[in-house]
Structure 1
Amino acid sequence: MATKILKACHLITKCAQNLPKNYLLSPTGNTLILKNCTRNTTSFFNKLPAEQIWKGVTSVSNAGKKRGRGKGSSKKVAKNLNRGQVIGVGKANILWPGLSAPIMRGRELVQQQKLPTDPDYENRLIKMRDEMGTFRRIKLSPIERGWSGAKLPGRSIGPPDPIGEDTFEGFDTKALEMKIVFNMKGNFGRKRRLSVLAVTGNGNGVAGFALGKAVDTKAAIRKAKNRAGQKLMFINIYKNHTVYHDFFTQFGKTKIFVSKKPEGHGLICHRAIKTICEVVGIKDLYAKVEGSTNLQHVVKAFFLGLLKQKTHQEIAEEKRLHLVEFKKENDYYPEIVASPSTECRKIDEIPTDEVLDFTQYCLDNRIVLKKKKLPPAYTKQPSWQIYLKKQEYIRNKPMVRQNIMAEYGELRSFLTDQYPECRPFRPEVESKETTEEELNQ
C-alpha cells in the first residue's frame, strides 16, 4: 500500500512540472486552477508623472544644497511619444474622411482610400522627438548684444507700454542690471524674486530710470520699463552732443568726475554711464568713477550730476558777468557765450576772494587732483642713456647738426673727404682792413 502511494506522488509531481505557467494544481491534486494572467499591480512608477519621478532621482535636499551638493546633476527630460502624432495619420498612409480629409469635396463624397507610403514619416517623428527638450541659445547680432554676450544687461528691451493715448514714440529702454534677490519672511520663508534696473529715454534730453522686481523675468522687465517711463526728467545737453561743463557728483561711496569734451571725442566712461548717455543723447564725454562701483549708486550719482549742471546763461545771471570762452581751434580768441540780463558788475564790486575760474566754480570750489605720471623705471638705468645716444642721429636732426658742429667744426658728411665740394655754401664776408688813421680818428 505504501509503495502505491509513493508512486502516485511521483506521478503527480512530474505532471505538475510539465504544466503550463498559467495553471496551478489544486492541493487535492485532482483539479487544475487557471492563474489570472493580467495583474493590476500599482507602484510609484505608474502613479506619478515622469517629471516627478526624475525629480525624485536627481534632486538634492535643502541641506545638501547648502553644502554644495547636486551642482552637476542635470535634469533628465523624458521623450513625449505623442509629439508629432496626428489623428488619422500614421505609418499606413490611408485617407480617412472626417479625420485626415473632409467628408465632402465640392459635391463629391470622399471615399476611404490608401495613399502611397511616405518613407520619411518615421524619420521625421524620431527627429522631432530628439529635438524635444534641447535648449537653443538665441543668436543676436553684435549691435543687439549687451555687455556680456546674450545676457540681458546692456540690451535694448523696447519702449515703455503706452498709457491710454500717451505713446512713447522714439523712446528706447535698456537694461542695466538683472539679479536674483531673496527676502526672508516668517510665514512664507525665503522668497526669491528677480530685480531689473532699466533706463529709458528718447535721445533728446528726456530720460528716466527705475527698478522692477517680480517672480517672473518678463514681469520684472515689464515693471522696470514702465516705471522708468513714469519717472522721466529733462536734462540739458550742450549743442546736442555733450554736457555744459565739468562737474563732480557723489552718491554714497561712489564719486564721479565728469569732463566736457569736444565733438568727435566719444564716450570714454563706465559702461553704465555710456548706456545712459546713449539713451539721453550725449555723444562726447569723459567720466572717472572713484570709490564704490555699485551699479545702482553709479546710475543715481550720474543722474544727480546731470540734473545739477547749470546752463551758461544761468551762470552768467548768478555771477552778473559775461561768460567768455577760449577755444584752441579759434587760437584762444575770446568769445562771449552768455551775458546777464542786468548790468554787469564792475571790477570794484567783485570781491578779491571770489572764484572766477569757470571749472572751479562748476566743481563747487574744488580742484581735481591730476597725478603726474611717474617715468618708467628703465629710464633711470645707464643703458637708457646709451640707447638715447644711438637714437639721437635718427630722431633729433637739430641735435645731429649740433654734434657735428661740435665735433668737426663744420657741417659735413662721410663724402666730404673724398669730395671737398660736398660742403654747405657759406657766403663770404668782406673783411675791412682798419688802418692806423681810422683807429686814430
Structure 2
Amino acid sequence: MALRLLQTSRYLSRAFQNLTICSTSTSVLNRNHDLNLNFSRNTSFFVKLPATELWKGVTSVSNAGKKRGRAKGLIRRKDLNRGQVIGLGKANIQWPGLSAPIIRGRELVQRNQLPADPDREAKILKLRDAMASKKFQKISTLDRGWSGNKMPGRSIGAPDQIAEDSFEGFDTKVIEFKQVFNMKGNLGRKRRLSAFVVTGNKNGLAGFASAKAVDGRAVLRKAKNRAAQKLMHIELCDGHTVFHDYACSFGLTKIFVQKKPEGHGLICHRAIKEICQLVGIKNLYAKVEGSKGVQHIVKAFFLGLLAQKKYDDIAEAKGLNLVEYRPEFGNFPKVVGTPKVCREQSDIRYDEIMDYNTFAMDGKVVLKKKKFPPFYANSYGYHIHLKKLEGRRNHKKIKFDMLCEHGEIKSYLTDKYPDARPMGYILRNMYLKKKSEEGQDEAPEVEVEVEQ
C-alpha cells in the first residue's frame, strides 16, 4: 500500500510540473477535483526489435523441444520482399530510370500508366508461400531449359514495345547466362551477370545480342531488347529448310550444314536447334567441329545462313544448269536453276570443281571418325561370305548411278548388242510394243481354263 501511494505521489508531482500558467488566465486546481492520468507508449514491440528477432520468436524452438518433436509444425520464415518490384506498386506506373530504361533505342522513355493487375496481391502471396514451403516447386516441361532450372534454353518472351512498334509473334531464347567478374582499382572484384540471347519471329527474321548487368531481370531485358534492334532477314527454301549444303566457321568453330527433306527434323547442336526454331527452319542436319563455345556456334551459323545462295545464283556462278535429285521424288532429275548463258562441254576446264558437295562446302571436307574393322573381320566364315558377295556387292550403287545418268540399266555392250539388257526391261518393251500394235488401252485379259 505504501508503495502504491509513493508511485501516485510521483505521478502527481510530474503532472503539476507540466502545468503552465498563461499570462491572461490562471489555472486553479481544486482539492475535490479528480485528476485522470492516461498512460501511453510511443514505441511498439514490433518496431523496437529487428526482423530477425521477430522471426526467431516464431520459428525457433529450444534444443529440448526439438528432441521432443516440437519443431515439426513451426512456421517457416517468409521473405516479405519476395515479388516486390522497385517502382511498380499498386498504381502500376512505369518510371523511367527506376522500373524502365531512360532511353530505348533512339527514343526517350516517358512515364507510362500500365493497365491495372487485379491479381497482383494474390500472385505475391502465392510466391511467398511457394518459397516458404518445403516442397520443391516443379517447372513445366515446356518451360524448362537445357538443364533443370538453369536459364540457358528457356524462353523469356518477346522484346519490349518501342513506341507504336510491337514485336508480335516474336520469342526470345536464352543461349548463355553466366557470372562475370572485373577487377577494379577502387571497388575491388566487381561481379556482374552476362546474358546471350537469340530472338526471332519463326518466319525468317531473327537476331542475337549479349548484355551485362548487376540484376538478373535487368540483364535479360537489356539483352532481348538489344537483339530486337539487330534483326536479320534469312531466306528459307520451301519454308522449312536451307537452300543448299554449306560450311561456315567463326574462330575455331566449324559447322557443316546439310539440307534435308520434310519430316527429317532438326539433328544438330542444341544452340543451333534453338536458332532454327526461332528462324523457322524445321528440317536440317548440322555437325559442329572444333570449339563448342555457344557464342561462336551462334555467330558461325548466322554467317552461314546469311551467305546462302539461291538456285539461280549457284547456276550463274558455275554457268551450268543446276539439277536436283530427291529420293522422295524417285531420284527423278529436276532442273531448279538455269544461268543466263550456259557453257558448253568444251568450255569446262579439266581442273574445275564439278562435284556439288565440294563446291557447296568451299573445298572443305567433313571430318569422319576412323572406322575400325568388326571383331569378326578375321574369321574364316566372314572370308567365305566376302567371296560369295564379291560378284554383286556394288550392284545397288551401280544401278542407282545408271538410272540417274542414262535413265536405264545397261552395260558397255548394250549399244553393240541391243539385247544385252535386263530381262525385265526387255519384257516391258515387248509388252508395250504388243499393246501399241493391238491398240488396246488396257492390259489384255488372260483366260484360265479350270478342269472340272
Q: TM-score range by the shorter chain?
A: 0.5 to 0.7
Q: State the shift of 1:231 in Å.
A: 0.6
Q: Paired residue for 2:360, among 359, 362, 365?
A: 362
The one-letter code sitting in structure 2 at the alignment partner of 1:245 is H
Matched position secondary structure for 1:314: helix
Q: Deviations over 1:260-290 (max 9, x none)?
A: 1111111111111111111111111111111
Q: Deviations over 1:84-105 (max 9, x none)?
A: xxxxxxxxxxxxxxxxxxxxxx
Q: Is the 8 A contact 2:130 2:137 kept in 1?
A: no
Q: Determine the structure 2 residue equivalent to 1:328.
A: 327
Mean CA deviation greater in 349-358 or 244-253: 349-358
Scaled by the length of structure 2, the TM-score of the pair is: 0.55
Q: How does 1:394-409 map to 2 (within 5 A)?
A: none
Distance in 1 separating the partners of 2:296 and 2:262: 28
Distance in 2 separating the partners of 1:156 and 1:377: 47
The one-letter code sitting in structure 2 at the alignment partner of 1:288 is K
Closer/same/farther in 2, CA of residues 177 and 334 from structure 1, 3 Å limit: same
Q: Determine the structure 2 residue equivalent to 1:264.
A: 263
Q: Determine the structure 1 residue equivalent to 2:439.
A: none
Q: Paired residue for 2:346, among 328, 333, 348?
A: 348
Distance in 2 separating the partners of 1:80 and 1:290: 47
Q: Deviations over 1:291-326 (max 9, x none)?
A: 111111111111111111211121112222211112
Q: Determine the structure 1 residue equivalent to 2:215.
A: 216
Q: Determine the structure 2 residue equivalent to 1:196.
A: 195
The one-letter code sitting in structure 2 at the alignment partner of 1:49 is P
Q: How does 1:350-429 map to 2 (within 5 A)?
A: 350-371=348-369, 373-377=371-375, 379-380=377-378
Matched position secondary structure for 2:239: coil
Q: Is the 8 A contact 1:179 1:195 kept in 2?
A: yes
Q: Deviations over 1:203-237 (max 9, x none)?
A: 11110011121111100110111111111001121
Q: How does 1:274-293 map to 2 (within 5 A)?
A: 274-293=273-292
2:317 counterpart of 1:318: yes
Unaligned ranges ≥5, structure 2: 1-46, 56-75, 81-126, 387-452
Mean CA deviation greater in 173-182 or 310-319: 310-319
Matched position secondary structure for 1:377: coil
The one-letter code sitting in structure 2 at the alignment partner of 1:198 is V
Q: Is the 8 A contact 1:138 1:150 kept in 2?
A: no
Distance in 2 separating the partners of 1:78 and 1:148: 29
Distance in 1 separating the partners of 2:225 and 2:177: 16
Closer/same/farther in 2, CA of residues 361 and 139 from structure 1, 3 Å limit: same
RMSD: 3.3
2:336 counterpart of 1:337: yes
Q: How does 1:11-22 map to 2 (within 5 A)?
A: none
Which structure is larger by alpha-carbon Rg, 1 or 2? 1
Distance in 2 separating the partners of 1:80 and 1:162: 32
The one-letter code sitting in structure 2 at the alignment partner of 1:151 is K
Q: Is the 8 A contact 2:269 2:288 kept in 1?
A: yes
Q: Is the 8 A contact 1:196 1:213 kept in 2?
A: yes
Q: State the shift of 1:364 in Å.
A: 1.0
Distance in 2 separating the partners of 1:139 and 1:166: 35
Q: How does 1:11-410 map to 2 (within 5 A)?
A: 49-50=50-51, 133-134=132-133, 138-340=137-339, 342-371=340-369, 373-377=371-375, 379-380=377-378
Distance in 2 separating the partners of 1:202 and 1:162: 15
Distance in 2 separating the partners of 1:237 and 1:138: 40
Distance in 2 separating the partners of 1:130 and 1:267: 41
Q: Is the 8 A contact 2:255 2:300 kept in 1?
A: yes
Q: Is the 8 A contact 1:160 1:226 kept in 2?
A: yes
Unaligned ranges ≥5, structure 1: 1-45, 55-76, 82-127, 389-441
Matched position secondary structure for 1:359: helix
Q: Determine the structure 1 residue equivalent to 2:107.
A: none
Closer/same/farther in 2, CA of residues 131 and 348 from structure 1, 3 Å limit: closer
Closer/same/farther in 2, CA of residues 264 and 367 from structure 1, 3 Å limit: same
Matched position secondary structure for 2:328: coil
Q: State the shift of 1:242 in Å.
A: 1.3
Distance in 1 separating the partners of 2:267 and 2:378: 33
Q: State the shift of 1:151 in Å.
A: 2.1
Q: Deviations over 1:348-379 (max 9, x none)?
A: 22222221222211111223344453233355
Scaled by the length of structure 1, the TM-score of the pair is: 0.56
Q: Deviations over 1:309-345 (max 9, x none)?
A: 21112111222221111222333322100112x2212
